[in-house]
Amino acid sequence: MKRSGFLKTLVALTVVLFGCQIMLAYAGDNDNDSSSACRQLPSHNALRMALSKAQSQQNGGFGLNMWATVVNRDGVVCAVAFTGNNRGDQWPGSRVISAQKANTANAFSLPGLALSTADLYSATQPGGSLYGLQHSNPVDTGVAYGGNSANNGQSNDPMIGFKIGGVNVFGGGLALFNQSKQLMVR
């Protein structure tokens, strides 16, 4: 399968499985040049097309419009997209949740060990071995809510090029692995 086809399939599969936001994490270079660190990731248009295709399928979810975020291995936001016609067609609060889930999947996956945000859920409940994890890495509110809101979910979303931070521990966040089941690294 070609790399772009694999990415589209993974994006579609993630939405089908979780019926909510999707997030992908990627092992990139450095965050000093976000364009080079995001170079091999899905573009805004590719992400939006794959997300829209997946959202239109019967997947057991609410059938609502949703957000998607892609971060690189350093946690830098590379792309943000939504399925609706405009940014108000999906829950506005889910934009940041989508970015948190991307950051979480990236931050807690290792080469050869994929941890989705759903995998962390049970352990983060009261009495669990990771209780409190979701409070350990706050979202950068300047990144999350800065810039012109009219650009949210567009190719120039204000989060792009910045580290969002945040930990979110319910289903929807997956790291990006290659066909050999290895965390993608350059």
- What distance in Å separates the CA atoms of residue 66 and residue 84, rounded to the nearest whole number? 7
- Say what the pTM is: 0.79
Residue 180: inside a domain? no
181, part of any domain: no
Question: Is residue 182 in a domain?
Answer: no
- Give the β-pairing of 77-82 and 22-25: unpaired
Domain count within the chain = 1
Residue 94 falls within a domain, yes or no?
Answer: yes
Please give the full DSSP string across 120-153, using - where no structure is assigned: HHGGGSTTSTTTTGGGSS-B-HHHHH-S-GGGTT
Q: Is residue 47 part of a domain?
A: yes
Q: What range defines the domain where residue 36 resides?
A: 3-175
Q: For residue 22, what are the β-bridge partners?
A: 68
Residue 186 falls inside a structural domain: no
In a domain, residue 183? The reply is no
Amino acid type, 64: L
Kindly state whether residue 28 falls inside one of the protein's structural domains: yes
Q: In a 3-state reduction of DSSP, which class is residue 42? A: coil
pLDDT category at 39 given cuts 50, 70, 90 is confident
Q: Residue 17 has what pLDDT? A: 32
